[in-house]
């Protein structure tokens, strides 16, 4: 067995183990199913998604510590990415960044309960700000003739 299968499997088993800490009853069964699905995913890549869903069910059925839930989610995302493609630096930075934001969101006491509703519009606005410089990159309107020729439009 080569490392292209062992690295994703280690992330998957970490995901299942983090989901199993403190679990009992149905949550422990879901975590065990996640671990078995990770092992089956060594030979059947399509089972990887089921393993992550089983770990998510285990987390939903019990109330784990926020750090364990974040570790399980981070490991699950890394498992899926490394199982189906190669892990790149931007992907790893995004995974760790979103896990850190999630940890801060659940550990820092917030304001009113409805403040969570601001998350989706905030993400959309942040995305729009990030892509704004690239939005009109392929458009030739508003450019001079020399610029259009340099861009290959004429």
Sorted by where each begins, the domain ranges of the chain are 3-108, 111-154
Contacts (Cβ under 8 Å, ≥6 apart) of 71 = 14, 18, 99
Residue 99 has pLDDT above 70, yes or no: yes
Q: How far apart are CA 14 and CA 37, in angstroms?
A: 13
- Give the model's confidence band at 52: pLDDT under 50 very low, under 70 low, under 90 confident, else very high: very high
pLDDT (0 to 100) of residue 148 = 59
Residue 2 has pLDDT above 90, yes or no: no
Average of per-residue pLDDT values in the chain: 82
pLDDT in tens, 3-39: 677 888 888 999 999 998 888 899 899 999 999 999 9
* Full-model pTM: 0.68
Residue 91 has pLDDT above 80, yes or no: yes
Residue 136 has pLDDT above 80, yes or no: no
Residue 140 has pLDDT above 60, yes or no: no
Average pLDDT over residues 115-132: 82
């Amino acid at each position: 067995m080569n490392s292209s299968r062992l690295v994703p499997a280690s992330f998957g088993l970490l995901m299942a183990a983090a989901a199993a800490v403190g679990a009992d009853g149905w949550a422990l069964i879901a975590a065990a199913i996640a671990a078995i699905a990770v092992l089956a995913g060594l030979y059947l890549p399509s089972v990887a998604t089921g393993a992550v869903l089983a770990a998510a069910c285990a987390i939903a059925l019990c109330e784990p510590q926020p750090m364990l839930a974040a570790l399980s989610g981070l490991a699950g995302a890394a498992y899926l990415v490394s199982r189906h493609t190669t892990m790149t630096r931007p992907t790893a930075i995004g995974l760790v960044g979103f896990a850190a934001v999630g940890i801060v969101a659940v550990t820092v006491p917030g304001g009113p309960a409805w403040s969570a509703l601001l998350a989706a519009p905030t993400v959309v606005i942040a995305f729009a700000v990030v892509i704004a410089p690239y939005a009109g990159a392929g458009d030739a309107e508003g450019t001079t003739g020399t610029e259009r020729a340099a861009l290959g439009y004429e």
